[in-house]
Amino acid sequence: MMIVALVAPVPASASVGAPPGPCAGGPPGPPLAQGLVPDGAQVRAFARADAHTQVGDELAEVELCVTVDRDDFTVHADPSELSSAHVQADGVLDFRVVAESGSGELLVDHASARLSPVDGAARWERVTGSGGPRSGAAPIGGLVQLGALADAGRAVAPVARAASTACVPTVINSNWVKARIASIFPAPGLRARLRVVHSGGGSYQVAMKVPNHPVQRVEMMHADGGWGAVTRLSGAQVHWSTSVRYLTIDNRYRATDGTCQYYLTFEPDQESGELTKEPAARPDYDRCIRVAAGRWLRADAGGKPYSLTYGVSAAGVVGVSLGVTKNYGESSHALVYEIPPGGRRMCGKDAAPAAASVVMGK
């Protein structure tokens, strides 16, 4: 089966830091992401430096190797060739994929992956949330499988902008938005709390906007954590939220015809760690087990993550609400239930309570 590199030529003024032909110089690095090649398109990918940036900052990028086998493309990233500015301390790498059709139409996606060595070999895996340790040897989630790339249209930048400004991604705005990260449902006589010793961050959805096109919800990207908090024990039904800093980025892109095209993204950057709560309607789950008196934890990182399709309240900023995913973990994200003498039942929404995305006491 023949695999060939499909990489557009890079003009000298392009916004990438890799030499021409990022697949040159030996075998490609370990696979980072996979997807389908849009008809007649050339696919390129870029690793993005991660730093807590300010409005007006330009974002340094390095072009990654993309190989194509028939209708499938694979993005490769060799961690030994990427600096610490790109691969974060926790192994997370942010990247974008841009497919350019012959007519100049752009199809894009943005995502994050985590470096997770297996048997001494480098391996990239999907970032599903907090990044806490997993039980057993199962991978966190396999390669990032990109769906249909979002249509960025034919958004050619004004001539004045292209002539006066470098064609590189630039931060143009910053907003803090509320994101729900946990729900607690104790029964009468039970008390519970959220415990975060050290947040490993979470996965939050990206929104994309181009002129004369509706806002599109695309892939998830990683937002840094680094905070800790332990709430008071309570018998109330509660949703817990934190604030997430989102950056509005003018994603400029040097097309193969030399024009500077662009599209806007609304991307997660970091969690604040400041917790707020709101009353929650009590659910009724039936996947139950009997638990003994004492402390019961929902902390196993090997179970289902806490995930909401519309958990990020971004409609006031970008026009739509966005998704959120937080992994459970002993130190990174745990629910603690205090069970009274005689024991009680714990129930899970979509699995046994020790592995469910949401749990409740009965």
Q: What is the pLDDT of residues 298-341, one digit of tens each?
A: 999 989 999 999 999 999 999 999 999 999 998 899 999 999 99
β-partners of residue 251 are 263
DSSP secondary-structure letter at 132? Answer: P
Q: Give how far Cα 134 sits from Cα of 224, 225, 307, Å.
A: 19, 18, 17
C-beta atoms surrounding 135 within 10 Å: 10
pLDDT tens digits along 284-300: 999 999 999 999 999 99
- Model's pTM, two decimal places? 0.83
pLDDT for 52 equals 66
CB 216 within 8 A of CB 150: yes
Per-residue pLDDT of the chain (362 residues; tens, 9 = 90+): 122 222 232 333 333 333 346 887 666 888 998 888 888 888 999 998 876 678 888 888 999 999 998 888 999 998 888 887 888 878 889 999 988 876 667 788 888 888 887 767 788 887 764 333 322 222 233 445 555 566 655 544 443 344 446 788 999 999 999 999 999 999 999 999 999 999 989 999 999 888 777 888 888 999 999 999 999 999 999 999 999 999 999 988 887 777 788 889 999 999 999 999 999 999 999 999 999 999 999 999 989 999 999 999 999 999 999 999 999 998 899 999 999 999 999 999 999 999 999 999 99
Tokens 């974060």 found at: 88
**Pairing between strand 238-254 and 306-313?**
unpaired
pLDDT for 252 equals 86
Which amino acid, residue 230? V
pLDDT for 246 equals 96
CB 92 within 8 A of CB 51: no
Which of 239, 235, 227 lies closest to 274 in space, CA to CA? 227
CA-CA distance, 28 to 11, in Å (whole number)?
Answer: 22
CB 43 within 8 A of CB 107: no
CA-CA distance, 82 to 97, in Å (whole number)?
Answer: 17
Strand arrangement of the beta sheet that strand 294-298 belongs to: 229-230, 191-196, 334-339, 294-298
For residue 272, the SS3 value is coil
- CB neighbour burial string for 289-318, b if at least 16 within 10 angstroms, e if fewer: eebeeeebebbbbbbbbbbbeebbbbeebb
256 Cβ neighbours under 8 A, 6+ residues apart? 8, 9, 42, 100
β-partners of residue 306 are 326
Tokens representing residue 85 in the block: 């500015």
Tokens representing residue 65 in the block: 């190797």
Angle at 121 between CA 97 and CA 117, to 5 degrees: 75
CA-CA distance, 271 to 264, in Å (whole number)?
Answer: 21
CB 30 within 8 A of CB 78: yes
CA-CA distance, 99 to 43, in Å (whole number)?
Answer: 4
